[in-house]
Structure 1
Amino acid sequence: MQVILIQDVNNLGGKNELVTVKNGYARNFLIPGKFAVEASATNLKIREEKLKVQAKKEAKLLAEIKEVIAKLQDGALKVGAKVGTSGKIFGSVTSVQISRAINEQKGYEIDRRRISILDDVKELGSYKASIDFGSGHVTEVEFEVVAE
Protein backbone atom coordinates (compact mmCIF):
# COMPACT_ATOMS: atom_id res chain seq x y z
CA MET A 1 0.00 0.00 0.00
CA GLN A 2 1.28 3.46 -0.83
CA VAL A 3 0.96 6.22 1.78
CA ILE A 4 2.04 9.85 2.07
CA LEU A 5 3.86 10.61 5.29
CA ILE A 6 2.46 13.57 7.23
CA GLN A 7 5.51 13.76 9.50
CA ASP A 8 8.97 12.22 9.71
CA VAL A 9 8.96 8.53 10.67
CA ASN A 10 12.20 6.87 11.79
CA ASN A 11 13.56 4.24 9.39
CA LEU A 12 10.77 4.97 6.89
CA GLY A 13 10.97 8.48 5.46
CA GLY A 14 10.46 12.21 5.83
CA LYS A 15 7.46 14.52 5.70
CA ASN A 16 5.51 14.58 2.39
CA GLU A 17 7.35 11.51 1.13
CA LEU A 18 5.50 8.83 -0.82
CA VAL A 19 6.38 5.36 0.53
CA THR A 20 5.19 1.80 0.01
CA VAL A 21 4.47 -0.20 3.16
CA LYS A 22 2.55 -3.34 4.06
CA ASN A 23 -1.22 -2.95 4.38
CA GLY A 24 -1.33 -3.87 8.06
CA TYR A 25 1.40 -1.40 9.00
CA ALA A 26 -0.42 1.39 7.21
CA ARG A 27 -3.92 0.59 8.50
CA ASN A 28 -2.97 -0.32 12.07
CA PHE A 29 -0.17 2.12 12.86
CA LEU A 30 0.56 4.88 10.36
CA ILE A 31 -2.92 6.10 9.46
CA PRO A 32 -4.53 5.87 12.97
CA GLY A 33 -1.44 7.45 14.54
CA LYS A 34 -1.68 10.42 12.12
CA PHE A 35 1.74 9.60 10.68
CA ALA A 36 0.44 9.11 7.14
CA VAL A 37 -2.56 9.31 4.81
CA GLU A 38 -3.53 6.94 2.03
CA ALA A 39 -2.07 7.87 -1.37
CA SER A 40 -5.34 8.63 -3.16
CA ALA A 41 -5.51 10.89 -6.23
CA THR A 42 -6.70 13.85 -4.12
CA ASN A 43 -3.99 13.39 -1.51
CA LEU A 44 -1.34 13.12 -4.24
CA LYS A 45 -2.47 16.47 -5.73
CA ILE A 46 -2.36 18.07 -2.27
CA ARG A 47 1.16 16.66 -1.80
CA GLU A 48 2.29 18.14 -5.14
CA GLU A 49 0.96 21.58 -4.14
CA LYS A 50 2.71 21.39 -0.77
CA LEU A 51 5.97 20.46 -2.47
CA LYS A 52 5.65 23.40 -4.89
CA VAL A 53 5.03 25.85 -2.03
CA GLN A 54 7.93 24.39 -0.07
CA ALA A 55 10.24 24.70 -3.09
CA LYS A 56 9.30 28.39 -3.51
CA LYS A 57 9.97 29.07 0.17
CA GLU A 58 13.34 27.31 0.00
CA ALA A 59 14.32 29.26 -3.14
CA LYS A 60 13.41 32.56 -1.46
CA LEU A 61 15.32 31.60 1.69
CA LEU A 62 18.35 30.56 -0.38
CA ALA A 63 18.35 33.94 -2.17
CA GLU A 64 18.22 35.75 1.18
CA ILE A 65 21.07 33.65 2.57
CA LYS A 66 23.23 34.35 -0.50
CA GLU A 67 22.54 38.09 -0.14
CA VAL A 68 23.54 38.03 3.53
CA ILE A 69 26.69 36.02 2.77
CA ALA A 70 27.71 38.51 0.07
CA LYS A 71 27.22 41.45 2.47
CA LEU A 72 29.15 39.73 5.27
CA GLN A 73 32.14 38.99 3.05
CA ASP A 74 32.30 42.63 1.92
CA GLY A 75 34.98 44.04 4.25
CA ALA A 76 36.09 43.05 7.71
CA LEU A 77 34.13 43.74 10.87
CA LYS A 78 35.64 45.80 13.65
CA VAL A 79 35.12 44.44 17.16
CA GLY A 80 36.11 46.67 20.06
CA ALA A 81 37.72 45.26 23.18
CA LYS A 82 39.30 46.66 26.32
CA VAL A 83 43.06 46.36 26.12
CA GLY A 84 45.74 46.32 28.81
CA THR A 85 49.12 48.01 28.55
CA SER A 86 50.79 44.92 27.04
CA GLY A 87 48.38 44.80 24.07
CA LYS A 88 46.43 41.83 25.37
CA ILE A 89 42.69 42.18 25.74
CA PHE A 90 40.80 41.59 28.97
CA GLY A 91 38.96 38.29 28.60
CA SER A 92 38.37 37.27 24.99
CA VAL A 93 36.12 38.14 22.07
CA THR A 94 32.99 36.00 22.03
CA SER A 95 30.33 35.17 19.48
CA VAL A 96 27.99 37.61 21.25
CA GLN A 97 30.32 40.50 20.43
CA ILE A 98 30.63 39.37 16.82
CA SER A 99 26.85 39.06 16.51
CA ARG A 100 26.46 42.56 17.92
CA ALA A 101 29.11 43.90 15.48
CA ILE A 102 27.34 42.30 12.51
CA ASN A 103 24.06 43.85 13.61
CA GLU A 104 25.57 47.32 14.04
CA GLN A 105 27.89 47.38 11.00
CA LYS A 106 26.09 45.23 8.42
CA GLY A 107 22.47 45.52 9.54
CA TYR A 108 21.77 41.78 9.88
CA GLU A 109 20.78 40.05 13.06
CA ILE A 110 22.49 36.68 13.35
CA ASP A 111 22.00 34.40 16.32
CA ARG A 112 25.18 34.01 18.37
CA ARG A 113 24.76 30.22 18.41
CA ARG A 114 25.32 30.13 14.64
CA ILE A 115 28.73 31.80 15.02
CA SER A 116 31.86 29.85 15.89
CA ILE A 117 35.22 31.52 16.32
CA LEU A 118 38.05 29.53 14.75
CA ASP A 119 40.88 30.75 17.05
CA ASP A 120 41.18 31.97 20.63
CA VAL A 121 40.96 35.75 20.47
CA LYS A 122 43.16 37.13 23.23
CA GLU A 123 45.12 39.85 21.41
CA LEU A 124 44.52 42.66 18.95
CA GLY A 125 44.58 41.63 15.29
CA SER A 126 42.62 39.98 12.50
CA TYR A 127 40.73 36.74 12.99
CA LYS A 128 38.08 34.61 11.28
CA ALA A 129 34.73 33.30 12.44
CA SER A 130 32.46 30.76 10.80
CA ILE A 131 28.71 31.32 10.45
CA ASP A 132 26.42 28.35 9.81
CA PHE A 133 23.11 29.35 8.19
CA GLY A 134 21.84 25.77 8.14
CA SER A 135 21.15 23.40 5.25
CA GLY A 136 24.81 23.35 4.23
CA HIS A 137 25.37 27.10 3.91
CA VAL A 138 28.46 28.15 5.85
CA THR A 139 30.58 31.26 5.40
CA GLU A 140 33.68 32.68 7.01
CA VAL A 141 33.73 36.27 8.22
CA GLU A 142 36.86 38.24 8.90
CA PHE A 143 36.89 40.51 11.91
CA GLU A 144 39.50 42.80 13.38
CA VAL A 145 39.86 43.29 17.11
CA VAL A 146 40.62 46.95 17.89
CA ALA A 147 41.16 48.80 21.16
CA GLU A 148 38.16 50.65 22.58
Structure 2
Amino acid sequence: MAKLILTHEVTGLGEPGDVVEVKDGYARNFLIPRSLATPWTKGAEKDVTAIRRARKAREIATLDDAKALADSIAAKPVTVTAKAGPGGRLFGAITTAEIASAVAAEGGKSVDKRKIEIGQPIKSTGDYSVSIRLHPEVSAKIAVKVVAG
Protein backbone atom coordinates (compact mmCIF):
# COMPACT_ATOMS: atom_id res chain seq x y z
CA MET A 1 0.00 0.00 0.00
CA ALA A 2 1.23 3.48 -0.88
CA LYS A 3 0.52 6.52 1.27
CA LEU A 4 -0.22 9.63 -0.81
CA ILE A 5 -1.34 13.23 -0.41
CA LEU A 6 -4.03 14.18 -2.92
CA THR A 7 -3.37 17.42 -4.81
CA HIS A 8 -6.63 17.34 -6.80
CA GLU A 9 -10.08 15.92 -6.17
CA VAL A 10 -10.40 12.26 -7.11
CA THR A 11 -13.98 10.99 -7.25
CA GLY A 12 -14.47 8.17 -4.78
CA LEU A 13 -11.12 8.73 -3.09
CA GLY A 14 -10.95 12.19 -1.56
CA GLU A 15 -10.40 15.93 -1.70
CA PRO A 16 -7.15 17.89 -2.15
CA GLY A 17 -5.08 17.73 1.01
CA ASP A 18 -6.40 14.33 2.12
CA VAL A 19 -3.85 11.67 3.05
CA VAL A 20 -4.94 8.33 1.57
CA GLU A 21 -3.59 4.81 1.26
CA VAL A 22 -4.01 3.15 -2.14
CA LYS A 23 -2.54 0.13 -3.87
CA ASP A 24 0.96 0.60 -5.27
CA GLY A 25 -0.07 0.14 -8.92
CA TYR A 26 -2.90 2.68 -8.68
CA ALA A 27 -0.50 5.22 -7.20
CA ARG A 28 2.39 4.48 -9.56
CA ASN A 29 0.39 4.16 -12.79
CA PHE A 30 -2.53 6.57 -12.37
CA LEU A 31 -2.43 9.10 -9.53
CA ILE A 32 1.21 10.22 -9.58
CA PRO A 33 1.70 10.42 -13.41
CA ARG A 34 -1.45 12.56 -13.73
CA SER A 35 -0.29 14.84 -10.87
CA LEU A 36 -3.38 13.99 -8.84
CA ALA A 37 -1.28 13.04 -5.82
CA THR A 38 2.23 13.22 -4.38
CA PRO A 39 4.00 10.67 -2.20
CA TRP A 40 3.53 11.21 1.53
CA THR A 41 6.60 12.22 3.51
CA LYS A 42 7.03 13.92 6.85
CA GLY A 43 8.22 17.05 5.02
CA ALA A 44 5.22 16.99 2.68
CA GLU A 45 2.86 16.99 5.66
CA LYS A 46 3.22 20.79 5.91
CA ASP A 47 2.07 21.05 2.28
CA VAL A 48 -1.23 19.51 3.37
CA THR A 49 -2.13 22.60 5.39
CA ALA A 50 -1.36 24.87 2.42
CA ILE A 51 -3.48 22.72 0.09
CA ARG A 52 -6.38 22.69 2.55
CA ARG A 53 -6.15 26.47 3.05
CA ALA A 54 -6.27 27.06 -0.73
CA ARG A 55 -9.21 24.66 -1.07
CA LYS A 56 -11.11 26.40 1.71
CA ALA A 57 -10.63 29.79 -0.03
CA ARG A 58 -12.01 28.39 -3.32
CA GLU A 59 -15.00 26.46 -2.06
CA ILE A 60 -18.41 27.89 -1.31
CA ALA A 61 -18.64 28.90 2.33
CA THR A 62 -21.95 27.51 3.53
CA LEU A 63 -24.57 25.00 2.57
CA ASP A 64 -27.18 27.74 2.12
CA ASP A 65 -24.93 29.62 -0.33
CA ALA A 66 -24.42 26.41 -2.29
CA LYS A 67 -28.17 25.71 -2.45
CA ALA A 68 -28.87 29.28 -3.62
CA LEU A 69 -26.17 29.01 -6.30
CA ALA A 70 -27.54 25.61 -7.39
CA ASP A 71 -31.03 27.08 -7.82
CA SER A 72 -29.74 30.04 -9.84
CA ILE A 73 -27.57 27.85 -12.09
CA ALA A 74 -30.27 25.24 -12.67
CA ALA A 75 -32.81 27.93 -13.64
CA LYS A 76 -30.81 29.11 -16.66
CA PRO A 77 -29.97 26.77 -19.55
CA VAL A 78 -26.45 27.21 -20.90
CA THR A 79 -25.63 27.42 -24.61
CA VAL A 80 -22.27 26.28 -25.97
CA THR A 81 -21.28 26.98 -29.57
CA ALA A 82 -18.91 24.60 -31.33
CA LYS A 83 -17.80 23.78 -34.86
CA ALA A 84 -19.86 20.98 -36.32
CA GLY A 85 -19.94 19.01 -39.52
CA PRO A 86 -22.90 17.69 -41.45
CA GLY A 87 -25.41 15.86 -39.29
CA GLY A 88 -24.50 17.86 -36.19
CA ARG A 89 -21.34 15.90 -35.34
CA LEU A 90 -18.78 18.09 -33.55
CA PHE A 91 -15.12 18.44 -34.45
CA GLY A 92 -13.86 17.30 -31.04
CA ALA A 93 -15.88 17.24 -27.84
CA ILE A 94 -17.27 19.80 -25.42
CA THR A 95 -14.97 20.14 -22.42
CA THR A 96 -15.67 21.07 -18.81
CA ALA A 97 -13.74 24.31 -19.33
CA GLU A 98 -16.11 25.34 -22.14
CA ILE A 99 -19.12 24.59 -19.95
CA ALA A 100 -17.62 26.56 -17.03
CA SER A 101 -16.99 29.60 -19.24
CA ALA A 102 -20.53 29.35 -20.68
CA VAL A 103 -22.00 29.31 -17.15
CA ALA A 104 -19.99 32.44 -16.29
CA ALA A 105 -21.07 34.10 -19.56
CA GLU A 106 -24.74 33.44 -18.81
CA GLY A 107 -24.42 35.60 -15.71
CA GLY A 108 -23.83 32.82 -13.21
CA LYS A 109 -21.00 32.73 -10.70
CA SER A 110 -17.78 31.26 -12.04
CA VAL A 111 -17.66 27.51 -11.47
CA ASP A 112 -14.53 25.40 -11.09
CA LYS A 113 -14.17 23.20 -14.19
CA ARG A 114 -12.94 20.32 -12.02
CA LYS A 115 -16.32 20.22 -10.26
CA ILE A 116 -18.25 19.63 -13.50
CA GLU A 117 -19.14 16.02 -14.30
CA ILE A 118 -20.13 15.05 -17.84
CA GLY A 119 -21.71 11.59 -17.96
CA GLN A 120 -20.98 10.79 -21.61
CA PRO A 121 -18.65 12.77 -23.91
CA ILE A 122 -20.58 15.49 -25.73
CA LYS A 123 -19.72 15.00 -29.41
CA SER A 124 -22.81 16.20 -31.26
CA THR A 125 -25.26 19.09 -31.19
CA GLY A 126 -28.33 18.81 -28.99
CA ASP A 127 -29.49 19.11 -25.40
CA TYR A 128 -27.55 17.52 -22.53
CA SER A 129 -27.71 17.42 -18.75
CA VAL A 130 -24.51 18.06 -16.79
CA SER A 131 -23.90 17.84 -13.04
CA ILE A 132 -21.88 20.37 -11.01
CA ARG A 133 -20.70 19.55 -7.48
CA LEU A 134 -20.93 22.87 -5.63
CA HIS A 135 -20.57 21.54 -2.08
CA PRO A 136 -20.07 18.06 -0.62
CA GLU A 137 -23.83 17.93 0.00
CA VAL A 138 -25.09 20.00 -2.97
CA SER A 139 -25.02 19.09 -6.64
CA ALA A 140 -26.74 21.06 -9.40
CA LYS A 141 -28.01 19.74 -12.73
CA ILE A 142 -27.80 22.20 -15.59
CA ALA A 143 -29.17 21.99 -19.11
CA VAL A 144 -26.48 22.44 -21.77
CA LYS A 145 -27.55 23.17 -25.34
CA VAL A 146 -24.85 22.58 -27.94
CA VAL A 147 -25.32 24.48 -31.20
CA ALA A 148 -23.27 24.54 -34.39
CA GLY A 149 -21.41 27.77 -34.95
TM-score normalised per structure 1: 0.57
Aligned twin of 2:89: 88
Moved over 3 A (4+): none
Give 1 or 2: higher strand fraction.
2
**Structure 2: 5+ residue stretches without partners:** 1-60
Q: From the superposition, tell whether residues 87 and 135 of structure 1 become closer, same or farther in structure 2 (CA, over 3 Å).
A: closer
Rg (Cα) greater in structure: 1
User: In the aligned structure 2, how far is the partner of 1:86 from the partner of 1:125?
Assistant: 11
Aligned twin of 1:126: 127
Decide whether the 8 Å contact of 1:114 with 1:133 is kept in 2. yes
TM-score normalised per structure 2: 0.56
User: In the aligned structure 2, how far is the partner of 1:75 from the partner of 1:106?
Assistant: 9
Task: Tell me which of the two structures has the higher relative contact order, counting C-alpha pairs closer than 8 angstroms and 6 or more residues apart.
Answer: 2
Report the AA paired with residue 141 of structure 1: I
User: In the aligned structure 1, how far is the partner of 2:75 from the partner of 2:69?
Assistant: 10
Aligned twin of 1:109: 110
Decide whether the 8 Å contact of 2:73 with 2:108 is kept in 1. no
Decide whether the 8 Å contact of 1:76 with 1:142 is kept in 2. yes
Give the percent of matched residue pairs that are identical in Structure 1 and Structure 2: 28
Instruction: Give, in angstroms, the shift of residue 145 of structure 1.
Output: 0.3
**Structure 1: 5+ residue stretches without partners:** 1-59
Decide whether the 8 Å contact of 1:77 with 1:105 is kept in 2. yes
Q: What number of residue pairs does the alignment pair up? A: 94
Instruction: Give, in angstroms, the shift of residue 61 of structure 1.
Output: 1.7
User: Root-mean-square deviation (CA), in Å?
Assistant: 2.6
Instruction: Give, in angstroms, the shift of residue 62 of structure 1.
Output: 1.7
The alignment partner of 1:63 has SS state of: helix
Decide whether the 8 Å contact of 2:125 with 2:146 is kept in 1. yes
